[in-house]
């Protein structure tokens, strides 16, 4: 159950980061030469390939493997710049209508995740309270 809540929390972190990136795109709509950015998720296959190519060491005792840490890892998402198209003659590629739609989509995604976290924690409260309200 907590693993699911942790995964939902990771999704909330992604949505927060994406909101900041998309807001930055809108704020720089009139900046000449500005290129829009977005947040991407790594695919499961790419993560598995990276895991096999660069195995992580687990530290089971504080005296072992001083450079390794237990668990850890990086977030499975990154900010990438879109250099594929240019919307205007000044080199800017931000489409404000598209950015606003993406912001709305991201807001709905965030709200659905917060609802899921709330429901899971509500289930935990019910179990702890032995079904009493």
22 inside domain: yes
In angstroms, rounded to a whole number, what is the distance separating the alpha carbons of residues 32 and 103? 22
Task: Report which of residues 54 and 30 the model is more confident about.
Answer: 30
133 inside domain: no
Model confidence pLDDT, tens digit, residues 67-117: 544 444 556 788 889 888 887 889 899 999 999 999 999 999 999 999 999
Read off the pTM.
0.70
For the chain, report the end-to-end CA distance as a whole number of angstroms.
21
102 inside domain: yes
114 inside domain: yes
15 inside domain: yes
Q: What are phi and psi of 76, to 5 degrees?
A: -85, 35
Question: Residue 59: its pLDDT value, please?
Answer: 66
Q: What are phi and psi of 68, to 5 degrees?
A: -95, 155
| Rg for the chain, CA atoms, rounded | 20
21 inside domain: yes
In total, how many domains does the chain have? 1
Quick check: helix, strand or coil at residue 41? strand
Among candidate residues 6, 20, 45, the one with its CA nearest the CA of residue 106: 20
Give the structural domain span for 26.
2-128
Question: Residue 43: its pLDDT value, please?
Answer: 60
105 inside domain: yes
């Amino acid at each position: 159950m907590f693993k699911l809540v942790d995964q939902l929390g990771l999704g909330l972190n992604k949505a927060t980061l994406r909101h900041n990136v998309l807001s930055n795109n809108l704020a720089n709509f009139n900046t000449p030469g500005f290129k829009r950015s977005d947040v991407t998720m790594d695919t499961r296959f790419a993560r598995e390939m990276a895991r096999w190519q660069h195995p992580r060491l687990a530290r089971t005792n504080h005296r072992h493997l001083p450079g390794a840490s237990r668990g850890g890892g990086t977030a499975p998402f990154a900010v990438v710049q879109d250099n594929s198209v240019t919307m205007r003659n000044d080199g800017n590629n931000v489409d404000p209508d598209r950015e606003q739609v993406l912001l709305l989509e991201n807001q709905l995604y965030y709200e659905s995740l917060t609802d899921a976290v709330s429901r899971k924690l509500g289930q935990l409260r019910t179990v702890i309270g032995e079904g009493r309200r």
